[in-house]
Structure 1
Amino acid sequence: MAYDLVIKNGLVILDSGEVKTDVAIQNGVIAAIGSDLEGSKVIDAAGLIVSPGMIDAHVHISEPGGEHRKDWEGYTTGTASAAKGGVTSFLEMPLNQVPATTDGESLQIKYDAGQGKLRSDVYSYGGLVPYTLKKGGIQELDAGGVIAYKCFMATCGDRSIDGDFMNVDDYSLYEGMRQIAKTGKILAIHAENSPITDRLGEIAYANGETTLKAYVATRPVFTEVEPIQRAILFAKETGCRIHICHVACPEGVEAVTRARQEGVDVTCETCTHYLYFQTDELDSIGPVVKCSPPIRDKKAQDGLWEKVMSGEILFVTSDHSPCTPDLKDKENAFDAWGGISGLQNNVDVIFDEGVQKRGMSLKAFADAIATNVADRFDIANKGRISVGKDADIILIKPNAPYTLQAEQLEYRNKISPYIGREIGAQIATTILRGQVIYSQETGVTSEFPGQFVKC
């Protein structure tokens, strides 16, 4: 039999480990794995790693952006950068769009805004905010197909923008968990103690502090760990499944591990930038690398890598949260937008830093970028190279260093802290449901085969 497409001669990452074999694709699905498979089209992957495509569980797209964010990241550029970076699917956060995705109507507005603009598949988060609880917003979002929910325990949103996101108070968090528990879906949480971090920031600003190092000092480790512990306590009380986003310190991971050992349904992620940058270099890079929770010191970074390697951190995400250049171009770091553009440089950086520099196994790498995300969020048809799964596959060129240039970025606004950095691996090809959506030879596809996936 001649399959639609066969990937030959690559080192394929399977659940059992890596093996040199062929992968056959038929009608967008992996149809066979073995030797001497024949295809109408063939990709020679000799010398390449054949991995499941990344499922990035934490991405912000700002479409529709309304009057205030119309020049931020949109679906066309966001999914192009995903394709070029080896991200075949991502879970899109419910904020930075205007209106934020907090009920059935705003969810449909978002779906309409992205129609015909997707190069990768997109799953949607619904927002837990105080004003949705009395309006049935949680239930409407569930019926509309969101994959999970998201809330902020840290201050967020712009109160001057009608329909913008906002953080929860303790009662809203508790009641939101009660309602979300009935859906069976997960609540993802940005865990920072807002009264303390906000006040420490105000004091530092009033004292004339301007640096990123000073900004990091206003968000000490305990202000991340305490709300993680509080969220876990609420989860115990309500039975809500929870996931802690972008953990920046090993102490936060340890709180999650202890709770999981006690039977709480809780997991956590970290981000590529926490595994790559450290506090002492931030001011030499500038506000382009500002985020929250902040990038911590080398000791924290080493501790996070240990947690990734041990499996305590379930997966790694980008927390791609771009803005326009003017919001980053600030002399005072406290005035700059807190978000990093990283969607295009997840896979290559993690492969280089984890596999090539730290000896991470290929199976653990695939787990951290794809398999564990699919398992946690109940995505049955993705996340593995296995017969019957969607043919979402990436080819990685190992030991192939390149220096990232701004013009190589597919983002609408070509800013990133990785610009000028040498990265030791490259994405050669990205395949979504059997269709090549990026290759080094042809670039990003001009077609839009991506879909909004409703759960």
Structure 2
Amino acid sequence: MDDLVIRSRRAVLPGGERPASVSVRDGRITAISPYPSGDAAAPAGGAAVVDLGDTALLPGLVDTHVHVNEPGRTEWEGFATATRAAASGGVTTLLDMPLNSLPPTVGPAALAAKRAAAEGACAVDAGFWGGAVPGNLPSLRPLHDLGVFGFKCFMSDSGVPEFPPLPPEELRAAFREVASFGGLVAVHAEDPASLAPPSGGGYGAFLASRPPAAERLAVERAVRLAEETGVRAHILHVSADACLDVLEKARADGLPVTAETCPHYLTLTDEDADGPAYKCCPPIRDAANREALWQGLASGVLSCVVTDHSPCTPELKRGDFATAWGGVSSLQLGLPVVWTAARARGHPLHSVVRWMSEAPAALAGVPGKGAIAVGNDADLVAFDADETFTVRAADLHHRHPVTPYEGRTLTGVVRATWLRGAPAGAAPAGRLLTPDPRSTQDPCSTQDPR
């Protein structure tokens, strides 16, 4: 006996968008059947029925790049606030980055502290990245065995002293070690020798201090190391179109290299940056660069769109672009931000779902997530793809109401979110996840460019 049936004339399934009824029992999808009409529309077998009509039904989003900051910097963000924001934005699974919490997730004891902080606090499901930093090479395999989804490392300064970058030889050693057990390395790719302190406090000086060449050189280095070691390497938050041909060649050469970008790089430009809410590393660049990133998504060179939600206290976001903390808070807004821009460029809703749900789940091996499919968790989103709203920071659920999208009109409203068939957001019903190696796959294999 099914517990719940959710119907929509716009169900976004792995094969595209079509009318469908999704049946749920014990938190999992048991069947996908045609959208009924006439007498067939009556509830069967006592299951509760939710008929969305023309409101789209999406799989819950999977955001593999979120800085929750708890424990240690919970005044910046925490699991309770971040996961409420996630549920409000249609995100049903997030993976927490190993910084900026204290301690960072670079050893088994730190992972235990992270899990203790998250247990019983999450409104959506959560998993954890480990970190690769100088001196923690012996901890990488134990962290892998304990269930982290991969290892984040920096080539340049991370912004926090407890998570330093890996020098070249230690970077190579980390790649080799992670390759030995079939793990995933996620790289913040900026070449430190190409970066410089900003020459002033304006956005132009900040942008010039982190040029596209810094990203390209670092991506080239990561690709060479992936070829040398055989590790699966994922390039985080690509902001510069100068990286795209390097990534395209790596894919053509059959290397296990993937890449993501973020909503702010796909929608904002340097001309928008009128205050520190826009500051992030790598930086938001010009309009031509933005359009090239969209081409990279359409071609599959970029496979995922994730938020890199990186909040801090309002005090740290004050000042100028030389001194303010770098990070964009957008966990609750990622879906409408991307959909607004994608629709304007002729991309269908099922492409947005592929970039923001299916491909991230495939990249990290998140079990039972990423698609409306029989056997998967019933993580579902009712999304009014035609309704507009104006962003008001005061309406956001992450800890501090700071966002570069304040006052913008966006298209697409999340009407409801279900986590394993139950309404998400009101209670801490999220589970702590570990990866399923059987579900790990090349996220580019999910791409079918229009």
Using structure 2 for the length normalisation, give the TM-score: 0.93
| Cα distance in 2 between the residues matched to 1:196 and 1:251 | 14
Counterpart for residue 342 of structure 1 = 330
CA distance in structure 2 between the partners assigned to 1:116 and 1:155 by the alignment: 33
CA pair 363-406 structure 1, distance change in 2 beyond 3 A = closer
1:353 to 313, 316, 341: 341
Aligned counterparts, 1:51-70, within 5 A: 51-65=58-72, 69-70=73-74
What does residue 178 of structure 1 align with?
Answer: 176
Q: Which residue of 1 aligns with 2:434?
A: 454
User: What is the Cα deviation at residue 380 of structure 1?
Assistant: 4.0
* Separation (CA, whole Å) in 1 of partners of 2:209 and 2:305: 25
* 1:372 equivalenced with 2:374 (yes/no): no
In the other structure, the counterpart of 1:100 is: 104
- Asked if the contact 2:391–2:405 (Cα under 8 Å) also holds between the matched residues in 1, the reply is yes
Does the aligned pair in 1 maintain the 2:194–2:211 contact within 8 Å? no
Instruction: Kindly report which structure 2 residues correspond to 1:7-406, keeping only aligned pairs within 5 A, or say none.
Output: 7-35=6-34, 36=36, 38=44, 40-65=47-72, 69-133=73-137, 136-159=138-161, 164-197=162-195, 200-201=196-197, 204-205=198-199, 209-283=200-274, 286-330=275-319, 332-354=320-342, 356-406=343-393
Are the aligned partners of 2:202 and 2:321 in contact in 1 as well (CA < 8 Å)? yes
Q: Is the 2:279–2:327 Cα contact (8 Å) retained in structure 1?
A: yes
- Note the C-alpha offset of 1:166: 1.4
3-state secondary structure, aligned to 2:99: coil
Query: 1:378 offset after TM fit, Å?
Result: 2.2
| In structure 1, C-alpha distance between the alignment counterparts of 2:148 and 2:74, rounded to whole Å | 24
Q: Provide closer, same or farther for how the CA distance between residues 70 and 370 of structure 1 changes in structure 2, counting only shifts above 3 A.
A: closer
Give the CA deviation at 1:425. 1.1
1: CA distance between counterparts of 2:21 and 2:226? 44
Are 1:188 and 1:242, in contact at CA under 8 Å, matched by a contact in 2?
A: yes
Query: Is the CA contact 2:9–2:19 (under 8 Å) kept in the aligned structure 1?
Result: yes
Shift of 1:377: 1.8
In the alignment, residue 166 of structure 1 is paired with which amino acid?
Answer: P
- Secondary structure class of the residue paired with 2:19: strand
User: Which is worse superposed, 104-113 or 374-383?
Assistant: 374-383
For the 8 Å contact 1:315–1:368, the answer to whether it is kept is: yes
SS at match of 1:453: coil
Q: Give the deviation of 1:303 after TM superposition.
A: 0.3
SS in 2 for 1:82: helix
Letter paired with 2:429? P
Question: How many Å separate the matches in 1 of 2:311 and 2:408?
Answer: 19
Partners of 1:124 and 1:374 in 2: CA distance: 13
Structure 1 distance, partners of 2:287, 2:403, is: 21
Please give the per-residue CA displacement for 1:375-415, whole angstroms capped at 9, x wherever unaligned. Answer: 22223411111111111111110221110112210011111
Are the equivalent residues in 1 in contact too, given 2:8–2:56 (CA < 8 A)? Answer: no
Report the Cα offset of residue 230 of structure 1: 0.5
C-alpha deviations, 1:77-109, integer Å up to 9, x for none? 000000000000011110000000001110001
Shift of residue 111, structure 1, vs aligned partner:
0.3
Contact 1:213 1:280 in 2 (8 A): no
Provide structure 2 residue ranges, at least 5 long, that are not aligned to the other structure: 37-42, 436-450
- CA–CA separation in structure 2 for the residues paired with 1:178 and 1:387: 37
The one-letter amino acid of 1:238's match is T
- RMSD, aligned CA: 1.3
Q: Which residue of 2 aligns with 1:441?
A: none
Partners of 1:250 and 1:300 within 8 A in 2? yes
**One-letter code aligned to 1:7:** I
Q: Secondary structure at the match of 1:400?
A: strand
Q: Distance in 2 between matches of 1:448 and 1:122?
A: 11
Q: Read off the aligned partner of 1:50 and give its amino acid letter.
A: L
Greater displacement, 249-258 / 30-39: 30-39
Residue by residue over 1:250-279, the C-alpha shift from the partner in whole angstroms, topping out at 9 and shown as x without a partner, is: 221221110111121000000000011001
> Structure 1: where are the runs of 5+ without partners?
438-443
- Aligned residue type for 2:411: G
Instruction: Give the alignment's TM-score, normalised by structure 1.
Output: 0.92
Alpha-carbon contact 2:8-2:57 (below 8 Å) kept: no
Work out the CA distance in 2 between the residues paired with 1:373 and 1:220: 27
Distance in 1, matches of 2:396 and 2:205, equals 30
Contact (CA 8 Å) 1:253, 1:268: kept in 2 or not? Answer: no
Q: Distance in 1 between matches of 2:8 and 2:171?
A: 51
Find the counterpart in structure 2 of residue 419 from structure 1.
406
Comparing 3-12 with 186-195, which one deviates more in the overlay? 3-12
**Structure 1 residue ranges (4+ consecutive) displaced by more than 3 angstroms after TM superposition:** 35-39
How far is the alpha carbon of 1:333 from its aligned partner?
A: 1.2
Q: Report the CA distance between 1:40 and its aligned residue.
A: 2.4
Contact 2:100 2:160 in 1 (8 A): no
| 1:217 partner SS | helix
**How many percent identity over aligned positions?**
36
> What amino acid is the match of 2:235?
I
